[in-house]
Every structure is written in structure tokens, then in C-alpha cells.
Amino acid sequence: KAGVTQTPRYLIKTRGQQVTLSCSPISGHRSVSWYQQTPGQGLQFLFEYFSETQRNKGNFPGRFSGRQFSNSRSEMNVSTLELGDSALYLCASSLATSGSYLDTQYFGPGTRLTVL
């Protein structure tokens, strides 16, 4: 079975631009979560989507948004980019059978975003 894939793997943007990152979960997985990893703040939870609905949200400004499609693929968008948004963005998927809350999360390799 293919793992979690994230595209693109690397991205360079300038301040003020917006960016969209994509995540394809493992086949059959219904939950997708997003995390931001930076040297200063570490790994921080952004949001989780399950059956096209946002189920949990971390403490990030409204510039960070996401969505999930009917095939469970997910995108996250960051508008009006700031230098501090430079980070590795990780996506994780899990089965979430019967809407259960806790299944093992499988992480993708991440998208490294650099904001200049």
C-alpha cells in the first residue's frame, strides 16, 4: 500500500503570497491531520479533517486554512505569507474507523516551505 504522499516536497514563496499544499492519505484512511514543524516552535498541530469536516483545530491564525475532499485528499492553504511561516508542513492520515478518535497516524515526508 502506498504511504502518505505530499506535494510539492519543496516550495519557495515570497512574503505576502499565498500557498496551497496537498496531501494524499493512505488508501482507505478517512482522517487527515496537518502539523507545522519549525526549529523554534517544534511540532505544532494545525487541524484535523474527517469526512470533509474539520474536527479539531490548533492555535493558528485564520491565514491557515484547510479542506478535505470526498476522496479524503486534503489541502491546506496559507494566505499572506510571513517569514515565520517557513517550516516543514507534515500531513498524517489514519483509518478513523467508525469515527473512532484514536487510530495510529501515518506521516508523510512533508513539504518544506521557505518564505523569502
Partner 1 sequence: AQSVTQLDSQVPVFEEAPVELRCNYSSSVSVYLFWYVQYPNQGLQLLLKYLSGSTLVKGINGFEAEFNKSQTSFHLRKPSVHISDTAEYFCAVSENNAGNMLTFGGGTRLMVKP
Q: Which residues bind partner 1 (CB under 8 A)?
A: 4, 31, 33, 35, 42-45, 48, 50, 55-56, 58, 90, 92, 94, 96, 101-110
Output the smallest distance, CB 30 to partner 1, in A: 11
Q: Which is nearer to partner 1, 19 or 89 (CB)?
A: 89
Q: How many CB atoms lie within 10 A of CB 105?
A: 19
Q: Which cell is 115 given?
A: 518564505
Q: Which is nearer to partner 1, 7 or 18 (CB)?
A: 7
Closest CA to 89 of 53, 114, 71, 54: 114
Q: Which cell is 15 given?
A: 512574503
Q: Which is nearer to partner 1, 98 or 104 (CB)?
A: 104
Go through the chain and tell me how many residues it has.
Answer: 116
